[in-house]
Structures are given as structure tokens and as C-alpha cells.
Amino acid sequence: MSYNGSGTFQINTAGQPVITGTVISSTAFNALTADLATGLSTAITKDGQTATTARIPFAAGISSTLVTDSSSVSTGSIITAGGVGIAKAVYVGTSANIGTSATIGTTLTVTGSSTFTGAIAVDSVTDSSSTTTGSIQTDGGLGVAKAAYIGTTLNVAGLASFTATSAVLLAKGTTGERPSPASGMLRFNTTTTEFEGYNGTAWSSVGGAALSNDTSTATNVFPLFANATTGTASTLFTGNAFFLYKPSTGELQARVPVASNGIVVNSQSVATSYTIATGYSGTSAGPITIASGQSVTVSSGSRWVVL
């Protein structure tokens, strides 16, 4: 007796089948029962007494009427001590708890929540350029309870909201470590110890203009005025053409100087040569001394009055 390789049971015992009207010998009968015992020993018992020695194909699938949830590798409707290979989609109705690693050949669809006690590693190295590209995609939000590390670029198409009460830590580095610039970049410069941003043309200070000791600019610039005397000024003002300063000469121009305390003070010494330009006149309260090697030039039509 044997199986034919396709699951069909065949009787091959000598003296079988029995012929009508003949005496069944004990030898033939005992051989038959022995073959039947051998054949039945290779069958799967419904009470779980036997274990299969080879993989069993199920053309119509496997159904279990047990509805017990699994809470470990030794509970639930289907239990295996080894791995599970699945060539098609896996559907999990509620929670999927994975103790170590899970390799899915095609699609894993989960309608409930999935709890992974270990890490999830994705081998794909595809960058994401939208919500429908990249190694991991989701139609909903993403909640991360711990730190999130992004190896290259984080692209946020909508509003980036930081609700923490602590702070936002910006990228920082020296002037020499500046990245290839793009408009809108913001960082902290450890060389200048100030925040800076790239405006599309150059890196510039953020939160205030960079200061320089300018003594060479020969054109008028605009002095600045703040709307606060302490703390942080929210607005800066200029005097436009009514109030100008020329760094190269130190000249300060005002349309109507007003001495609110009633006194206008000038030095009694001319330390640097000066020319009173055409169309202007000057006054000084004397005595006045012109320093050695220096001079005062009064242009044609102008006057210098020393009182």
C-alpha cells in the first residue's frame, strides 16, 4: 500500500483484492492491516497527535473557527515556531504585533493599529518628493512620540508648527561651513555669533544689521531711530533727506537743528582742515585756534563768522 504522490491512497498488498468464495488467509489479512496501519500513520490527526514531515499545500486556503486574539508567539488561532512566508497580500483585521522583524513580499493592509516592539527597517533608498513617493507613504498624519532624525532634507509642503514651550534648535556652523545657498535658508553662524539668512544674493544678519566702522563712504546715509529706549525695538525709523550723515567726513545734516536746552556748543580748536562749500556759511563761538598744519577754506560767496 502507498500514496501515489498526489494524495491518492492505493492498496498494493498481495492477495488483494479478495476474490468471492475464497478463504482469506491470515497472512494476506495481517499484511493488509499492517499496510493500513502504515498508511494511517502518515495521515494528519484532527486531535493534533501527529506532525507533518513535509510542507502541505492547501489549494483552497486555511480557515480557523477559533477567534482567540494572539498576545504572543504561543497563542491565537494559528501558531508556528518558525517563520511564515507569504507571497501575496496580508490582511489584518485589528492589531498586528510583531516581536522582531517582518518581511512582506507585496502589500500589508492593516485596518486597525499595528504595534511593533522592535524597530522597522526599510531597505528602499528612494527619496520622497511628494506625499505619494518615497519609502514610507501615509494618507493620514504621522505621530512620533520620540525624536525623529532626518538624514538629508525635510520638505514640508504646508505649515510647519512647533508647539513646544522650549525652543527650536537651528543648524549652526562657521562661516566656512555655510551650505550651498538657496533663498530662505536660516542658520546660526558660530564665527560671527549671530543668526543669518540667505536672501537670494548674499548671507545677511537676521534680527539686526551687521555693524561696521565705516569712514570711507562719501555719500549720505540715513541715521536710524528706534521706537524704544529699552528692551527690543519693534520698529526702526530714518530721517530721510531731512537728517543725513556722511561717514567719510563726519558731517551731519539736519534741516532745523534745535537746542532744547538753549545752548549750541562748538570746539574752540579746528583740528582738521575744512572747506565751507559754496552756498553755505559757518559760525563759531571764539576764540578759535586752527591746529598746526590745518586750515579753514571759505568758498567764494560764503562766510565764516567767529563770535
Three-state DSSP state, 199: coil
Single-letter code of the amino acid located at 278 = T
| 110, pLDDT greater than 90 | no
- CATH number of the domain located at residue range(s) 162-211 in this protein: 2.10.10
pLDDT the model gives residue 169: 92
Q: What percentage of the chain carries pLDDT values higher than 70? A: 98
Backbone angles phi, psi at 26, to 5 degrees: -65, -35
Domain with CATH 2.10.10 in the chain: 162-211
What average pLDDT does this structure show over 249-254? Answer: 90
pLDDT the model gives residue 106: 75
Q: Is the pTM of this model over 0.95?
A: no
Residues 118/135, Cβ–Cβ less than 8 Å: no
The listed range with the strongest mean pLDDT (89-98, 237-246, 294-303) is: 294-303
Residues 127/147, Cβ–Cβ less than 8 Å: no
| 280, pLDDT greater than 70 | yes
| 206, pLDDT greater than 90 | no
> What's the chain's average pLDDT?
86
| 271, pLDDT greater than 60 | yes
| 210, pLDDT greater than 70 | no
Backbone angles phi, psi at 258, to 5 degrees: -125, 120
1-5, 19-23, 49-53, 169-173: least confident range: 1-5
**pLDDT band with cut points at 50, 70 and 90 for residue 277:** very high
Contacts of 235 (CB under 8 A, 6+ apart): 226, 227
The Cβ-side half-sphere exposure at 106, using a 13 Å CA radius, reads: 6
DSSP letter at 249 equals: T
pLDDT the model gives residue 89: 83
For residue 192 the three cell numbers come to: 560671527
What average pLDDT does this structure show over 254-283? Answer: 94
| 194, pLDDT greater than 60 | yes
pLDDT the model gives residue 200: 93
What average pLDDT does this structure show over 139-166? Answer: 88
What average pLDDT does this structure show over 157-178? Answer: 92
For residue 158 the three cell numbers come to: 504646508
For residue 242 the three cell numbers come to: 531731512
Instruction: Give the model confidence (pLDDT) of 65-108 as tens digits.
Output: 888 888 888 888 888 888 888 888 888 888 888 877 777 777 77
32 CB neighbour count, 10 Å cutoff: 19
pLDDT the model gives residue 86: 83
**pLDDT band with cut points at 50, 70 and 90 for residue 208:** low
pLDDT the model gives residue 198: 94
